[in-house]
């Protein structure tokens, strides 16, 4: 067991959660396991665990908040029951790590569009933020927590990572910052800038905060973090730059660093 893995879960199991089959395939390949042709074309059973190492399992949930939250919650609840009979207070998993790819949002003061130089970089989420839960009015976006309906335990839209996990995972990342979890990806410059400005996020994806919420509701003792590779720029769809193949290769290497 590596120093990273041991520091994260301290003798317990690690649940790696990914959304898309391509991400799963990249991780399987990166850790040296036999790849599956099925993962190239379709979503496997979203409740089936894929063994990556003796104490590491991977869950492939499907894309989006609803799919990710449901599969994560179901897996944690069912394994708690199996591990402790009638009690659901103890989980065999010491933590949940959301791995995947992400779109780069404008980052830093004055950056209207994301820089292509950031593609391929690893981003560690210092916050996983539900980025488009709320109400659009004529002149602004009102967030769900402002309306009094924030779903996190503190009434906000933000799941912060376990502090100890930030320390352990920081050396693996090129950037640290918020990651917005969205249902509508930023296919215009205006939307990309709005999401980045409002949430403070430097990247966007579609699952992280939902996975973090499911883990927190399962047990406060389950660690969480979101770690992603920037695969594309956000903003005007016709001008977006994509480095998908390279990002997936980096994702596989990242998983190998954590597990082996």
159 beta partners: 128
Q: Does the domain made of 3-259 have the CATH classification 3.40.50.1580?
A: yes
Give the model confidence (pLDDT) of 97-145 as tens digits.
Answer: 999 999 999 986 567 678 889 999 999 999 999 999 999 999 999 999 9
- What is the model's pLDDT at position 84? 53
Q: Are 81 and 88 in contact (CB under 8 A)?
A: yes
How far is CA 258 from its chain centroid?
A: 15
- What is the model's pLDDT at position 46? 79
Give the model confidence (pLDDT) of 45-62 as tens digits.
Answer: 878 899 999 999 999 999
- What is the model's pLDDT at position 249? 97
How distant, in Å, are the alpha carbons of 5, 35, 197, 255 from that of 53? Answer: 11, 14, 40, 11
Nearest partner of 97 among 232, 224, 242, judged by Cα: 224
Give the model confidence (pLDDT) of 183-240 as tens digits.
Answer: 999 999 999 999 999 999 999 999 999 999 999 999 999 999 999 999 999 999 999 9
pLDDT bucket at 89, cuts 50 / 70 / 90: low
- When mean pLDDT is compared across 25-29, 89-93, 189-193, 210-214, the lowest value belongs to 89-93
Percent pLDDT > 70 in the chain is: 92
Q: Are 252 and 24 in contact (CB under 8 A)?
A: no
pLDDT bucket at 85, cuts 50 / 70 / 90: low
pLDDT bucket at 42, cuts 50 / 70 / 90: low
Q: Are 184 and 237 in contact (CB under 8 A)?
A: no
Q: Are 54 and 13 in contact (CB under 8 A)?
A: no
In the predicted model, what is the mean pLDDT of the chain? 91
Q: Are 123 and 102 in contact (CB under 8 A)?
A: yes
- What is the model's pLDDT at position 113? 78
Structure tokens at 50: 């894929």
For the chain, give every domain's residue range. 3-259
User: Per-residue pLDDT averaged across 167-177, rounded?
Assistant: 97
**Is pLDDT above 80 for 41?**
no
């Amino acid at each position: 067991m590596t120093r990273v893995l041991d520091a994260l879960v301290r003798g317990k199991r690690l649940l790696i959660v990914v959304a898309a089959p391509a991400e799963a395939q990249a991780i399987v390949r990166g850790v040296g396991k036999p790849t599956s042709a099925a993962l190239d074309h379709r979503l496997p059973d979203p409740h089936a665990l894929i063994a990556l190492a003796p104490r590491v399992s991977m869950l492939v949930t499907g894309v989006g908040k609803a799919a990710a939250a449901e599969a994560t919650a179901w897996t944690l609840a069912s394994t708690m029951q199996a591990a402790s009979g009638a009690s659901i207070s103890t989980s065999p998993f010491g933590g949940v790590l959301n791995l995947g790819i992400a779109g780069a949002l404008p980052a830093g003061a004055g950056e209207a569009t994301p820089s292509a130089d950031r593609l391929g970089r690893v981003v560690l989420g210092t916050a996983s933020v539900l980025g488009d839960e709320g109400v659009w009015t004529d002149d602004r976006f009102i967030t769900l927590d402002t309306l009094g309906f924030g779903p996190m335990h503190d009434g906000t839209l933000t799941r912060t990572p376990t502090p100890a996990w930030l320390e352990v995972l920081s050396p693996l990342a090129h950037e640290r910052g918020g990651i917005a979890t969205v249902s509508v990806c930023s296919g215009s410059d205006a939307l990309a800038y709005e999401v980045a400005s409002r949430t403070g996020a430097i990247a966007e994806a579609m699952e992280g905060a939902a996975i973090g919420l499911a883990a927190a509701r399962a047990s406060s003792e389950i660690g969480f973090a979101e770690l992603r590779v920037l695969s594309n720029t956000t903003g005007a769809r016709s001008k977006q730059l994509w480095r998908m193949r390279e990002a997936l290769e980096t994702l596989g290497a990242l998983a190998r660093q954590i597990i082996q």
